[in-house]
Amino acid sequence: MTEKDFISNPSFQILDSGKVTWESPSNIALVKYWGKKKNQIPENPSISFTLETCKTITSLSFIKKDSTEGFSFDVFLDKVKKDDFKPKIQTFFERVEMYLPFLKRYHFVIETKNTFPHSSGIASSASGMSALALCLMSIEKQLNSEITNDYFNKKASFLARLGSGSACRSIEGPLVVWGKTDSIEVSSDLFGMKYPYKIHNHFKNFQDTILLVDKGEKQVSSTIGHNLMHHHPYAKIRFQQAHENLEKLKNILETGHLEAFIALIESEALTLHAMMMTSMPYFILMKPNTLEIINKIWQFRQETSLPISFTLDAGANVHVLYPEKDATKILEFIKNELVAYCENGHYICDKIGFGAKQLTM
């Protein structure tokens, strides 16, 4: 598919008003996306677990307006008007306008809330942008009933990508691939798609306990971080490594080889942060407690041989990943040994999920 496949014809028939609601999850990458080209095209392929608990619920109300000049919308977070969210949504609307010809014909009210605490250091851009893209697709579907489910999901992911790259991996679950790579035949740079191959039982219901080490705003935005990969001395080899890791992961996901899984995802997490530390300007998003937790996990794993592992996002929080069958022992360890390193002792128990859900038409 190409960008052209997502351009829809302006509809003659237009609804007067309506409201749609979607809930859309966050996701955590196993092979990381870090570095992008123009139009939010990734420099390398990535794959993520879709989460179940951390999600955004967005309602989009639309009412026909008289003029077709400019975009018209208001945004509310937890019922509070958020004019500071408007520039990001304005940019998103500008990027997707050519694919959604009805955008300028409506005034929109966007009402959104997250299931995770507002300042938790958990980025809401993946769940937020995917929820908004899905709401827009629901309007498009009301204007064109011929849209298939497959096209709906692909275009929702395509649109979400233009809002925030990793958001394109938040439409479906439990595992989503984004970025063209030889080992996954149908993969695309334009949208995320459900991982199409066999997944071993070990990974079903995989657990993710998110340790909130630092609940503050990130000091360096991911946009700046991605851009620093442009002249990065290790960029080329890193992008190549992501292709190789996806190929390796395909085999691991099929065989359920947990030791190999742990080595691969921890290396990916540390490589992401190594790219940040070796860019110019360089920066560090991990905090001392991030390292304390990593060391405790390694020590516990060595002592117990339990398949506990970690991954990191672009921040200080630690995602602790483990199979459901070992959840009791590992959760006890987390509570006894790791929670002390979290800001105000806060953590979130999440697990692998199955994607976004429409709540109202």
The footprint of ligand PMV on this chain (CB under 6 A) covers a number of residues equal to 14
Query: Nearest approach, Cβ of 162 to ligand PMV (angstroms)?
Result: 11
Q: Give the residue ranges of DSSP H helices in 228-287.
A: 235-255, 258-277
Helix 258-277 and helix 235-255, axial crossing angle in degrees, nearest 10: 160
Within a 10 A sphere around the Cβ of 176, how many other Cβ atoms?
Answer: 25
- Among 222, 245, 279, 289, which residue sits at the site for ligand PMV (rule: CB under 6 A)? 222
157 touches ligand PMV by CB under 6 A: no
311 touches ligand PMV by CB under 6 A: no
The three-state DSSP-derived secondary structure of 8-20 is CCCCCCCCCEEEE
Q: Pattern of binders to ligand PMV over 10-29, x per CB under 6 A?
A: -------------------x
* Burial of residue 160, with CB atoms counted within 10 A of its CB: 0-12 exposed, 13-18 middle, 19 or more buried: buried
Residue closer to ligand PMV (CB basis): 222 or 245:
222
- Among 21, 24, 44, 125, which residue sits at the site for ligand PMV (rule: CB under 6 A)? 125
Q: Pattern of binders to ligand PMV over 232-271, x per CB under 6 A?
A: ----------------------------------------
Residue closer to ligand PMV (CB basis): 59 or 125:
125
Within a 10 A sphere around the Cβ of 281, how many other Cβ atoms?
Answer: 7
**How many whole angstroms separate alpha carbon 296 and alpha carbon 309?**
11
- Which of 274, 294, 308 has the alpha carbon at shortest distance from 338? 294
* Burial of residue 146, with CB atoms counted within 10 A of its CB: 0-12 exposed, 13-18 middle, 19 or more buried: exposed
Region binding ligand PMV by CB under 6 A among candidate stretches 62-70, 159-167, 208-216, 331-339 = 159-167
**How many whole angstroms separate alpha carbon 306 and alpha carbon 302?**
8
DSSP type of residue 74? E
166 touches ligand PMV by CB under 6 A: yes
Residue closer to ligand PMV (CB basis): 313 or 350:
313
**How many whole angstroms separate alpha carbon 315 and alpha carbon 120?**
11
Within a 10 A sphere around the Cβ of 72, how many other Cβ atoms?
Answer: 16
**Antiparallel, parallel or unpaired: β 72-77 and 106-114:** parallel
Q: Are the CB atoms for 109 and 74 separated by under 8 Å?
A: yes
Query: Nearest approach, Cβ of 62 to ligand PMV (angstroms)?
Result: 26
Region binding ligand PMV by CB under 6 A among candidate stretches 15-23, 77-85, 161-169, 331-339 = 161-169
165 touches ligand PMV by CB under 6 A: yes
Q: Pattern of binders to ligand PMV over 269-308, x per CB under 6 A?
A: ---x------------------------------------
Q: Are the CB atoms for 155 and 135 separated by under 8 Å?
A: no
348 touches ligand PMV by CB under 6 A: no
Query: Nearest approach, Cβ of 277 to ligand PMV (angstroms)?
Result: 14
Q: Find all residues with CB under 8 Å of 150, minimum gap 6, and list them.
A: none
What part of residues 52-111 is at the interface with ligand PMV (CB under 6 A)?
A: none
44 touches ligand PMV by CB under 6 A: no
314 touches ligand PMV by CB under 6 A: yes
164 touches ligand PMV by CB under 6 A: yes
- Among 6, 21, 32, 264, which residue sits at the site for ligand PMV (rule: CB under 6 A)? 32
Residue closer to ligand PMV (CB basis): 143 or 276:
276
Query: Nearest approach, Cβ of 139 to ligand PMV (angstroms)?
Result: 24
Q: Are the CB atoms for 203 and 323 separated by under 8 Å?
A: yes
**Antiparallel, parallel or unpaired: β 46-64 and 17-31:** antiparallel
Q: Are the CB atoms for 153 and 113 separated by under 8 Å?
A: no
Residue closer to ligand PMV (CB basis): 36 or 202:
36
Positions touching ligand PMV (CB under 6 A) are 29, 32-34, 46, 125, 164-166, 222, 226, 272, 313-314
